[in-house]
């Protein structure tokens, strides 16, 4: 028993690990909550694109601040919100399909970010932090921003639960009920953008789509109720954040990758258990 407690308490001796755990739990839960709509509305590509498209904003912030990381959150947030609104507007105005427009913006913005960062001599180290996250480098100020913006995202998702639900299930009903569809579409894009920026330091932009999609997809395997799916997705993502960081601490693997791998393993376990249950059930009924 004591060995177990020592094992659990081991990483908590270090303040940076405690901050990292809190950030991973909060960012995971926020991403998964927003990710519920990403999964249900088939917006995974958009989520991935948004995550990658914030790179140039972060790069500009990095260059302007002379390599300091303090203002990167704000640069990332501004770029993410502008990109999300831009994607929404272009998909309505341009004569190309939405996924094509997203692909163009995504690749172009990502390339711009790499180009800007490559002008810095030691860019490879910092690029790795942005791409794959650096949850152990989370400061108390970062944690406050995560709590503030993550909390705002959660509050708005709860406040407009019924509007987002109707828009996702039956847009025609939403129109007949006079729900301002375009306003809520943009709001959802902005919320996804904020969730992406909140999680940027936890898993990095390259693995961000996993935090948006995998916990929500796992929850979808378990339930056919939207509120339950949201709670389960957030709980699974928070759990994956905890387990991933312990895995990172004891196995010495990159923290962002460990969190995402835990999410993926959880999905595999739930999917396997569900498939097994489906195979057993018909046999039981035939015996009965």
List residues binding another protein (CB under 8 A): 40, 159-160, 162-163, 165-166, 168-170, 172-173, 175-179, 220, 223-226, 228-229
Report yes or no: 169 and 18 within 8 Å, Cβ to Cβ: no
Cα 226 to Cα 45, 209, 222: the distances in Å are 21, 20, 11
To another protein, the closest distance from the beta carbon of 190 in angstroms equals: 17
**Cβ-based nearer residue to another protein, 169 or 250:** 169
Least separation in angstroms between CB 75 and another protein:
32
- Nearest distance from residue 193's CB to another protein, in Å? 22
Cβ 111 to another protein shortest distance, Å: 35
By beta-carbon proximity to another protein, the closer residue of 68 and 159 is 159
Residue (of 188, 262, 198) closest to 51 by Cα position: 198
Residue closer to another protein, measured from CB, 168 or 264: 168
Q: What does the alpha-carbon distance between residue 73 and residue 231 come to, in Å, rounded to a whole number?
A: 27
Residue placing its CB nearer to another protein in the complex, 126 or 163: 163
The least CB distance from residue 171 to another protein, in Å, is 9
In degrees, rounded to 5, the angle at the alpha carbon of residue 79 between the alpha carbons of residues 158 and 217 is: 45
CB of 173 to another protein, least distance (A): 6
CB of 162 to another protein, least distance (A): 5
Question: Toward another protein, which CB reaches closer, 24 or 167?
Answer: 167
- Exposure on the CB side of residue 7, measured as CA atoms within 13 A: 9
What are the CA-CA distances from residue 29 to residues 76, 150, 152 (Å)? 20, 9, 13
Which lies closer to another protein via its Cβ, residue 196 or residue 232? 232
**C-alpha closest to that of 56 among 44, 66, 64, 47:** 64
Q: Based on CB atoms, which residue is closest to another protein, 78 or 181? A: 181
Q: Name the packing angle between helices 98-117 and 44-53 (round to 10°).
A: 20
Q: How far apart are CA 205 and CA 49, in angstroms?
A: 9
Q: What is the DSSP string of 128-160?
A: HHHHH--GGG--HHHHHHHHHHHHHHHHHHHHT
């Amino acid at each position: 028993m004591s060995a177990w407690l020592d094992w659990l308490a081991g990483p908590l001796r270090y303040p940076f690990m405690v901050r990292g755990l809190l950030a991973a739990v909060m960012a995971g839960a926020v991403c998964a909550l927003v990710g519920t709509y990403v999964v249900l509305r088939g917006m995974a590509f958009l989520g991935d694109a948004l995550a990658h498209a914030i790179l140039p904003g972060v790069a500009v912030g990095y260059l302007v601040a002379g390599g300091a990381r303090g203002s990167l959150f704000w640069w990332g947030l501004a770029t993410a919100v502008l990109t999300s609104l831009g994607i929404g507007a272009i998909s309505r105005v341009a004569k190309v399909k939405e996924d094509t427009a997203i692909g163009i913006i995504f690749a172009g913005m990502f390339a711009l970010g790499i180009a800007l960062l490559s002008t810095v001599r030691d860019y490879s180290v910092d690029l790795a932090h942005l791409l794959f996250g650096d949850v152990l480098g989370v400061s108390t100020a970062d944690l406050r921003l995560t709590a503030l913006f993550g909390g705002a995202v959660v509050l708005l998702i709860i406040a407009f639960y019924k509007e987002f639900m109707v828009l996702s299930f039956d847009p025609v009903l939403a129109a007949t009920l006079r729900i301002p569809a375009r306003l809520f579409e943009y709001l959802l894009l902005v919320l996804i953008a904020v969730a992406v920026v909140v999680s940027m330091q936890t898993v990095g932009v390259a693995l961000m789509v996993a935090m948006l999609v995998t916990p929500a997809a796992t929850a979808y395997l378990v339930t056919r109720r939207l509120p339950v799916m949201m709670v389960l997705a957030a709980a699974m993502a928070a759990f994956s954040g905890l387990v991933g960081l312990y895995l990172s601490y004891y196995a010495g693997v990159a923290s962002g990758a460990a969190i995402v791998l835990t999410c993926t393993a959880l999905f595999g376990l739930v999917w396997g258990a569900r498939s097994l249950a489906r195979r057993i059930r018909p046999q039981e009924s035939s015996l009965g």
